[in-house]
């Protein structure tokens, strides 16, 4: 594989990369070469990465054509391995593994006399590990494809999952613009319980389709013993969470999403793993290393979890095959990589601030093994699956994260614009409306490197977790309990909250990136916060649910916010500003509290002033002609005041203004946003 070729697509990123290398020639300049070397090793030792990443077909348990079973594990520190379970009456010694080279162990079990497999589908198993210290440990195979637990148990069991008919379904095409609905299956119901895959398929997918989102990002799918970890303390990497249903029910969910033209991304956690031993990877073979670094380097002090040794050959096999498994078996369309900032640096971002100085990104603090792993993962995924989408959750701002690998980058398609939600929370917490700084808001929205695509979002699950609140709750707080009825006039708190909620989301959507993300329920202004059942809240599910019943209640104003979010997405789908080049910003006026920009031939006019409206506000325009309102946040149907006549047409004048050749006069209502498009060019306008 030649990763060193040049292309026009990579040119801008190569410039950024060369600048970075000029600043620090030490730690990072050899990473691309080492990645190529690893690919060469894979070719020589494993027959290429295609075979290497299909190791889920040889490790764990495999049923052969004659119904014999082959069990295979990697446990380099073990003295002996045995298999026990329902099939042998939980005999701990009757089925020993045979030791092979490089710490591998294998066990062959012939079929029963009736030619059926000796281990039945849906029966329980354990690996018995005998350590060199004389311990006997009961473990779950790291390659286990399904694990469950009894209601009163805290330990998961390995369940042999071998259904007779595998599930196969096609993928939809990669969308032009990415509009992501971030989802957690378990909380996707108003009921106080763990919701199911089937509930999501039948009750939530139709909402997502109606809202105009074309991508779902599924959280908490990889099995995690601790529900309150939000899925980020993974115990079984190849198993879909059984608390929401069976693997087939998850496959049905993805299949139905695909039939609706919606792609599905997995929130994959390869940055760390749970410390659990009996049902996790930790101490699988009795040692503190195996899949992880030994000693302090293998521990994350803040997350209380284990850190992978990305230089280990079998660790690479495990993680890269894990990505391939989710793509092949479940037909996911890509991944959002969690905790990338922790992976990139030996300090894991703990106690480190990032100012943008290149010295913070290139030096001995960078974990080159992690970089090589991420480059390998992206190269393999994009080679095997042309339309695969990968997104990096990185708060540090690592340069070239989203540049092509052949240009020296890490190969991600998008990065999360994580500064944007923090900025909105800061503004709502610390500033009066009249003190909002338009220039600072615009800077935060546009502060991204050219050529590296960003996913913008006003809030995600992070902002809704206990200790914080949703944007809607920051804006309206306790008034949401008593004043959201359409049968009574809006008070000043609800009026302000509803108008700003729409404006914040549309400004983020239209200016903040090349993709957009919304966390489930926040589109209609979900109140309160998220808190999973735990000892500290008496195991309550009250805040671990999404109250879709609110938007379904006609006399509550939540449906007005829902309608705006829906029409915002549908308007973007028509005009495609997320896939367009960066916006041309013509106005960021501090006194008027007005922001005006043009993107994808759509004129956006935002008026954040708490009291002032403008009847004839001059707006700079590129293409001359006739413009018409296409989206108006002040519309009655969106909880606005309906102050504009949507039949009005706006004509440009050949009057240069703010460095554009034409301009026009447009109304601008207080706390409202307009989107306008040029009629002859079938362009759009948003408010």
Residues designated as active site? 338, 393
Query: Which residue is it, tokens 């959750």?
Result: 393
On the 0-12 / 13-18 / 19+ scale of CB atoms within 10 A, 487 is exposed
Q: What is the dihedral of CA 577, 402, 300, 333, to 10 degrees?
A: 70
Question: Could you give the CA distance from residue 143 to residue 528 in angstroms, rounded to a whole number?
Answer: 39
Residue 217 to residue 337: CA distance in whole angstroms:
11
List Cβ neighbours of 237 (8 Å cut-off, separation of 6 or more). Answer: 142, 222, 223, 273, 281, 318, 319, 322
Query: How far from the centroid of its chain's Cα atoms is residue 603's Cα?
Result: 30
Core vs surface per residue 578-601: b (16+ CB within 10 A) or e:
bebeebebbbbeeebbbbbbbbbb
Other beta carbons less than 10 A from residue 144's beta carbon: 25
Of 339, 329, 421, 417, nearest to 373 by C-alpha is 339
Q: What is the DSSP letter of 171?
A: P
CA triplet 533, 535, 540: central angle to 5 degrees? 35
Cα 510 to Cα 412, 437, 556, 561: the distances in Å are 22, 18, 27, 17
Query: Running DSSP on this structure, what letter comes out for residue 114?
Result: T
Residue 343 CA to its chain's centroid (Å): 16
**Alpha-carbon span 166 to 181, nearest angstrom:** 28
The residues, ordered by sequence, that sit 6+ positions from 458 with a Cβ below 8 Å of its Cβ are 420, 421, 424, 471, 504, 505, 508, 518, 522
Where would I find the H helices in 313-437? 313-329, 340-344, 368-384, 419-430
For the CA atoms of 434, 440, 446, 452, what is the dihedral angle to 10 degrees? Answer: -140
Q: Which of 565, 513, 516 is nearest to 686 (CA)?
A: 565
Range list of H helices, 385-491: 419-430, 438-446, 461-464, 471-476, 479-482
564: closest CA among 511, 520, 506?
A: 506
Cα 640 from Cα 629, distance rounded (Å): 15
């Amino acid at each position: 594989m030649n990763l060193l070729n040049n292309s026009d697509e990579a040119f801008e990123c190569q410039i950024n990369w060369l600048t970075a290398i000029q600043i620090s020639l030490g730690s990072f300049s050899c990473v691309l070469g080492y990645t190529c070397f690893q690919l060469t090793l894979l070719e020589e030792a494993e027959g290429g990465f295609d075979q290497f990443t299909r190791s889920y077909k040889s490790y764990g348990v495999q049923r052969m054509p004659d119904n014999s079973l082959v069990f295979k594990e990697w446990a380099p520190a073990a003295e002996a391995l045995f298999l026990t379970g329902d099939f042998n009456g939980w005999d701990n010694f009757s089925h020993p593994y045979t030791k092979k080279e490089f710490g591998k162990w294998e066990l062959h079990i012939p079929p029963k006399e009736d030619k059926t497999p000796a281990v039945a589908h849906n029966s329980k198993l354990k690996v018995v590990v005998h350590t060199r210290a004389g311990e006997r440990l009961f473990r779950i195979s790291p390659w286990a494809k399904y694990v469950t637990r009894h209601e009163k148990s805290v330990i998961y069991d390995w369940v042999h999952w071998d259904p007779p008919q595998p599930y196969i379904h096609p993928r939809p095409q990669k969308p032009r613009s990415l509009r992501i609905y971030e989802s957690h299956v378990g909380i996707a119901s108003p009921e106080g319980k763990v919701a199911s895959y089937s509930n999501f398929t039948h009750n939530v997918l139709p909402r997502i389709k109606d809202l105009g989102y074309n991508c779902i990002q599924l959280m908490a799918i990889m099995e995690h013993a601790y529900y309150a970890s939000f899925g980020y303390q993974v115990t079984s990497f190849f198993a879909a969470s059984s608390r929401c249903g069976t693997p087939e029910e998850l496959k049905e969910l993805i299949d139905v999403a695909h039939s609706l033209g919606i792609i599905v991304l997995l929130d994959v956690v390869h940055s760390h793993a749970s410390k659990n031993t009996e049902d996790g990877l930790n101490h699988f073979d009795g040692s503190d290393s195996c899949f992880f670094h030994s000693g302090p380097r293998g521990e994350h002090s803040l997350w209380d979890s284990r850190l992978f040794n990305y230089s280990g050959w079998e660790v690479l096999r495990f993680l890269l095959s894990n990505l391939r498994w989710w793509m092949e078996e479940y037909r996911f369309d890509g991944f959002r990589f969690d905790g990338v900032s922790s992976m990139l640096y030996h300090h894991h971002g703990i106690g480190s601030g990032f100012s943008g100085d290149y010295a913070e990104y290139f030096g001995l603090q960078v974990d080159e093994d992690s970089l090589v792993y991420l480059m390998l993962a992206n190269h393999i995924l994009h080679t095997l699956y042309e339309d695969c989408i990968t997104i990096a959750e990185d708060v540090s701002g690592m340069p070239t994260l989203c540049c092509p690998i052949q240009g020296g980058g890490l190969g991600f398609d998008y990065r999360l614009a994580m500064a944007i939600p923090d900025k909105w929370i800061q503004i709502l917490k610390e500033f009066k409306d009249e003190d909002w700084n338009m220039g600072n808001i615009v800077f935060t929205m546009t502060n991204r490197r050219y050529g590296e695509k960003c996913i913008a979002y006003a809030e995600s699950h992070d902002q809704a977790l206990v200790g914080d609140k949703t944007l809607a709750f920051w804006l309206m707080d306790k008034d949401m309990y008593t004043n959201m009825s359409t049968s009574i006039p809006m008070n000043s708190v609800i009026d302000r909250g509803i108008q700003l909620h729409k404006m914040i989301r549309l400004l983020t959507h239209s200016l903040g990136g090349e993709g957009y993300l919304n966390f489930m329920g926040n589109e209609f202004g979900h109140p309160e916060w998220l808190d999973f059942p735990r000892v500290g809240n008496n195991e309550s599910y009250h805040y671990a649910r999404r109250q879709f019943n609110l938007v379904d209640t006609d006399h509550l104003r939540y449906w007005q916010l829902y309608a705006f979010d829906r029409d915002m997405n549908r308007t973007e789908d028509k005009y495609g500003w997320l896939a367009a080049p960066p916006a041309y910003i013509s106005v960021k006026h501090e006194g008027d509290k007005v922001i005006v920009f043009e993107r994808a031939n759509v004129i956006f006019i935002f008026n954040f002033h708490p009291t002032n409206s403008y009847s004839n506000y001059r707006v700079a325009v590129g293409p001359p002609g006739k413009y018409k309102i296409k989206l108006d946040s002040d519309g009655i149907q969106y909880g606005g005041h309906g102050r504009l006549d949507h039949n009005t047409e706006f004509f440009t004048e050949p009057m240069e203004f703010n460095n554009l050749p034409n301009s026009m006069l447009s109304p601008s209502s207080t706390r409202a946003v307009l989107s306008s498009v040029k009629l002859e060019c079938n362009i759009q306008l948003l408010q």
